[in-house]
């Protein structure tokens, strides 16, 4: 037999060398990782905007629709429609921006505070809060139950609105008790927990769940604002003084003294509140008599116009001249 032979790729006298793979260039690795990291950051920002928008957009749309209904109820207190006061859709949208934007600002502040508190609690508990929240998110029944309870609580605004309308005294304030909150949340659990659980089976269903929760939240807030707008209009009708909420939603309490086309004072130069103008006629509220009437703008001159209520004696109420007459 031939002896076992080995072959060497180097000379016998030279020292042995170990063959290893050439190291990758150090500069190449960060260049390959940076684009992926930037893509992850962009996808994370877009995902956050998508989640926030899926809730804020339906919330804003439903809130706008219900605030328009609030305008109708507010002017109905004076016996006219918003159109008779010159309030159309474009004017209404511009005025309601003064309401929606502060709500968004306050909402952003609340969300920021909640995120900061969650981060602080997670830091104090050494990550236990974050892990618990992640485990809760992975259980669809718990998420569906929370969303259903929130949707049920949104109906508190509608319940508040209906109760206020059924009250014998329209000026009496309606309060919401803890039992009402529990009843509304229980009804939401009973009605929505199973449908919301079924929606979470697919990604499109989860997106629809966010839209539904945002819309129901807007409905609840809209009904609360609606009844408060009606209460504010009743306060103007009775005392001639506006409220901060009416100012926020764009209700303009414009006061003036009237003259005819020749400059002769009308109505004993009493202060009148101009509700608006439409088709050549002013909608005017006579606070001293508690009456609303329309007057042609061509034959009427507004003097001493101001955007705040005139000075009255303490305890003044509208309709004093009508009672004395």
pLDDT in tens, 247-278: 878 788 889 999 988 889 998 889 999 998 88
Residue 271: predicted pLDDT? 92
Q: For position 255, what pLDDT does the model report? A: 92
Q: Tell me the β-bridge partners of 286.
A: 291
Distances (CA, A) of 167 to 79, 153, 158, 174, 314: 20, 22, 14, 8, 28
For the chain, how big is the Rg over CA atoms in Å? 34
User: What's the token pair of residue 237?
Assistant: 């009708």
pLDDT of residue 21: 53
Question: What is the distance in angstroms between the CA of the first residue and the CA of the last residue of the chain?
Answer: 141
Q: List 198's β-bridge partners, or say none.
A: none
Edge-to-edge strand ranges of the sheet holding 281-286: 291-296, 281-286, 272-278, 254-260, 300-306
Strand partners, 273: 255, 285
- Strands 281-286 vs 300-306: parallel, antiparallel or unpaired: unpaired
The answer to whether 285 and 303 have CB atoms below 8 angstroms apart is no
Residue 247 Cα to chain centre, angstroms: 17
pLDDT at 256 (0 to 100): 92
Report the pLDDT value the prediction gives residue 52, as an integer from 0 to 100.
67
The token pair at 131 is 């892990």
Alpha carbon of residue 72 to chain centroid: 19
pLDDT at res. 1: 47
Residue with token string 């001159």: 301
Q: For residues 42 and 174, what is the distance between their CA atoms, to the nearest angstrom?
A: 48
Supply 207's token pair: 């997106």
Pick from 284, 221, 227: nearest CA to 80: 284
- Neighbour count for residue 302 (Cβ, 10 Å): 17
DSSP 8-state assignment for residue 317:
-
Contact 218, 59 (CB under 8 A): yes
- Report the alpha-carbon distance of residue 12 to residue 66 in Å, rounded: 94
Element housing 239 (H / E): helix 203-239
- Of the candidates 70, 77, 71, 73, the one whose C-alpha atom is nearest the C-alpha of residue 290 is 77
Stretches in the chain below the pLDDT threshold 50: 1-2, 4, 6-7, 10, 16-19, 26-32, 37-38, 40-42, 168
Instruction: Return the pLDDT at 118.
Output: 83
Query: Among 291, 181, 277, 163, which Cα is nearest to 223's?
Result: 163
């Amino acid at each position: 037999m031939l002896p076992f032979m080995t072959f060497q790729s180097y000379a016998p006298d030279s020292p042995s060398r170990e063959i290893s793979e050439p190291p990758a260039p150090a500069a190449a690795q960060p260049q390959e990782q940076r684009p992926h990291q930037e893509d992850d950051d962009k996808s994370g920002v877009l995902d956050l905007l998508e989640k926030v928008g899926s809730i804020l957009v339906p919330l804003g749309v439903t809130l706008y629709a219900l605030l328009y209904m609030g305008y109708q109820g507010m002017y109905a207190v004076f016996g006219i429609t918003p159109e008779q006061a010159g309030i159309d859709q474009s004017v209404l949208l511009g005025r309601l921006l003064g309401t929606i934007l502060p709500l968004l600002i306050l909402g952003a502040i609340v969300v920021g505070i909640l995120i900061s508190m969650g981060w602080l609690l997670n830091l104090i508990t050494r990550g236990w809060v974050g892990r618990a929240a992640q485990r809760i998110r992975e259980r669809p029944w718990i998420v569906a139950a929370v969303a259903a309870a929130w949707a049920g609580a949104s109906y508190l605004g509608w319940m508040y609105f209906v109760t206020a309308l059924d009250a014998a005294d329209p000026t009496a304030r309606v309060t919401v008790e803890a039992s009402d909150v529990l009843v509304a949340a229980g009804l939401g659990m009973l009605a929505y927990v199973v449908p919301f659980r079924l929606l979470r089976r697919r990604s499109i269903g989860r997106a629809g769940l966010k839209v539904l929760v945002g819309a129901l939240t807007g409905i609840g807030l809209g009904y609360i604002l609606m009844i408060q707008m009606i209460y504010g209009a009743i306060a103007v009708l009775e005392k001639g003084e506006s409220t901060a909420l009416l100012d926020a939603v764009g209700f303009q309490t414009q006061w003036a003294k009237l003259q005819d086309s020749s400059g002769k004072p009308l109505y004993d130069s009493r202060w009148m509140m101009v509700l608006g103008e439409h088709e050549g006629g002013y909608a005017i509220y006579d606070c001293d008599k508690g009456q609303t009437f329309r007057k042609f703008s061509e034959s009427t001159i507004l003097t001493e116009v101001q955007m705040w209520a005139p000075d009255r004696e303490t305890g003044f109420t509208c309709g004093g001249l009508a009672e004395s007459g």
